Amino acid sequence: MPTPWWARALIWLLIPLTGGALLLLVVRAAWWLSLPGPFALIRRLPAPTTTAVAVTLGVLLGAVLAALVDRESLTVRIGPAEVVLSRPGTESRVPRADVAVAFPDRDQLILLGHTGRELTRAPCHLSVRRLRAGFTERGIAWADQDPYLSVYRRWVPGLPEIEPTAHALFAARQTALTARDERDQHELRTELGRLGYVVRDDHKRQYWRHADG
């Protein structure tokens, strides 16, 4: 189940074109509105030059953004032995027998094990309809939302149910959430998973449950 080729083509076509059009609009506004400051320099250049530079720069910036978006395109392969979630530059393989249920959470696809442990998650923009059909037709259960949603509790420092080591990891991850450090968030989520905690984020708040549900 890869991201459709036409969707990726649209990303590479529309985002650069939109970038060029937006930057051209900014340049034209600088001319029409006689904006001060740096925009005064734009008005001193010949109109054809500013137009060409604005469009070229906008397209290039749009291409960079398109590359970042395309990097998030996910391919899901469900084989006899394993489920593979792959994106450009990264791949996650999970034994098929270990997967109890798959479900979407906002813009992510999550696979859970039979004890409720989170096996893997990946950014996903594939349609829910395609994902549901792909998993269920291959004999893997699908849920339209987290089946443990009602079990989560909000993390706050000092909860007696959470061991000190986990509290330290939650605190570090809270700092990573505030700083929008996605790499640190991912690594600390993995560490908490090893201790038996499943983490769910709601904006910059952390919610948790034990892996045994």
**Residue ranges per structural domain of the chain:** 5-71, 75-142, 150-210
Q: What is the pLDDT of residue 88?
A: 76
Q: What is the pLDDT of residue 61?
A: 76
Burial bucket for residue 169 (CB in 10 Å: 0-12, 13-18, 19+):
buried
Q: Where are the alpha helices (DSSP H) in 72-121?
A: none
Q: How many CA atoms lie within 13 A of 198 on its CB side?
A: 22
- Nearest to residue 112, comparing CAs of 132, 94, 136? 94
CATH topology of domain 75-142: PH-domain like (2.30.29)
Q: What is the pLDDT of residue 191?
A: 96
Q: 75-101, pLDDT tens digit by residue?
A: 899 999 999 998 877 889 999 999 999
Mean pLDDT of the residues in the chain: 83
Q: 43-71, pLDDT tens digit by residue?
A: 566 667 667 777 777 777 767 665 655 55
List, for the chain, all residue ranges whose pLDDT scores fall below the cut of 50.
5
Look up the pTM and report it: 0.69
Radius of gyration of the chain (CA): 23
